[in-house]
Each structure stands twice: as C-alpha cells, then as structure tokens.
Amino acid sequence: MNIKIIGVGKLKEKYFKAGIAEYAKRLGRFCKFEIVEVPDEKAPESLSQAEMDEVMAKEGQRILGKIKDREYVYALAIEGKERSSEAFAAEMQQLTTYGHSDITFVIGGSLGLSKDVMQRSNSQISFGKFTLPHQLMRLVLSEQIYRAFMINEGSPYHK
C-alpha cells in the first residue's frame, strides 16, 4: 500500500518536521508513506477573486501533476465530510479491500484547492470548521492515518 500526502509549500518548522518524521517511521510497518511538496504561489493579502482563482489554479496544476490515474484522492477541505477516527479507519480498510492500494491526500495552500483538484478528488475530508495552518495539518493528518492503521490492527493506541 502507498500513502502520499501532497502539500502546497515547504514545511519550515523543525517541530512539525520532527512530528511528521515520527509518524512516517511508525507508518513504515504498514505502508510506503511519502510527503510531496509543490511550490506555493505568492498570494498578497489584497487579491481579487480572479487573482485568487489564478493562484489556486497554478497550485492546482502542480498538485495534479503529482497524481497518477490509479490513485484514490482525498482532498482536505472545510466543506468536506467530517469522519470519526473509527469511520476513517473503516473507510481506509474498505479502500484497500476493493483494490485501492494508492491513496493520496491533498492539502491546499493558503487559499485552498482549485476546482480542478476538487473535481479530481474521489472524496473530500474535513477536520472541522477550523482553519489550520497547512504545516500543522500535515502533522494532524499523518497522525490520523497512523491511528487508522492502529484501529484496524486492534491496537490499544487509539484509546
């Protein structure tokens, strides 16, 4: 099984890098886990809607260039479906049971994800109405993926 997180922008903070590295190490026994970074576009505060759409479109093309046809894609989006950790674990298990061995999660930049990326996604997932920094979201997502494997294994980690 291959699990990939595509994120816009570079991970800068050492403590996020350390946390993600720890979960990547733990996930190594379950899957091939990788994080792919695509460059972000400069987005000053005062952009028109058309300029914001252009920024998202450029980032979106970079994201889509990292996704293969066979990959099952989750787009992280506030308007996506919220799941419990148990429901997410069951969904991951079901995907692998039905032949989806390449699962990709996409975290957009500061403006979100383009329509093209949302259309390419097979499912949208939300971690609630909070807006979180994308660097923190990578860490939270890495932990939840690990938690899903632990739930499916019947491990006490989840308690």
Q: Which of 56, 13, 11 is nearest to 37 (CA)?
A: 11
**Is residue 76 part of an annotated ligand binding site?**
yes
* Sign, CA torsion 74/79/85/87: negative
**Is residue 9 part of an annotated ligand binding site?**
no
- To the nearest 10 degrees (0 to 180), the angle between helices 85-97 and 134-153 is 70
Say if CB 3 and CB 145 are below 8 A apart.
yes
**Which residues in the chain belong to E strands, given as ranges?**
2-8, 32-38, 72-82, 102-107, 123-126
Q: Can you say which residues are annotated as belonging to the binding site?
A: 76, 108
Q: Can you say which residues are annotated as belonging to the binding site for S-adenosyl-L-methionine?
A: 76, 108
